[in-house]
Amino acid sequence: MKKLFLSAIALMSFSGCTSMGVASDGYRFQNRQWTNHEFRVIVKEYDSQKELTAAALKVDVAWRTHITRAFASVDRANNTCTIHLLKPEFKWLPQWPGHEIGHCIWGNFHPSRR
């Protein structure tokens, strides 16, 4: 059931996006860093952009100064992926959960950020 749910999210978020086209989130798929078909997903929701940004600043990655709407932390050693995003009651951004699942599956698939 969980695999079906994750597959549905991934398909919904990337439908209408080709490897050469730009998706509704403004990003294009460039290269897969890896492929991970089975993993545990943890979702952390935040009440405000300020809280989400503070969490992102704790992660040592190149884009941490970029204002983000969501991000994923992949722990390949423990086969887990944590998706950090705003609560939908605060800001409804349905494209972002699927985008972040993409990072769980394919790693950093848009190294140029956009």
Residues 52-108 have pLDDT tens digits of: 988 888 875 555 556 678 899 999 999 999 999 999 998 888 888 998 999 899 988
Structural domain spans, the chain: 2-14+27-106
Name the CA dihedral angle for 51, 73, 61, 20, rounded to a multiple of 10 degrees. -110
What stretches of the chain show up as alpha helix (H) in DSSP? 2-14, 49-57, 95-106
What local confidence, expressed as pLDDT, does residue 60 receive? 59
The residues with which 85 forms a beta bridge, in sequence order, are: 45, 70
pLDDT score of 4 more than 50: no
8-state DSSP, 62: T
Sequence-ordered list of residues with C-beta below 8 angstroms from that of 18, at least 6 positions apart, any chain: 29
What local confidence, expressed as pLDDT, does residue 15 receive? 45
Q: Give the pTM.
A: 0.73
- How far apart, in whole angstroms, are the C-alpha atoms of residue 94 and residue 87? 11
- Per-residue pLDDT, averaged over 3-11, amounts to 47
> How far is the first Cα of the chain from the last one, in angstroms, to the nearest whole number?
32
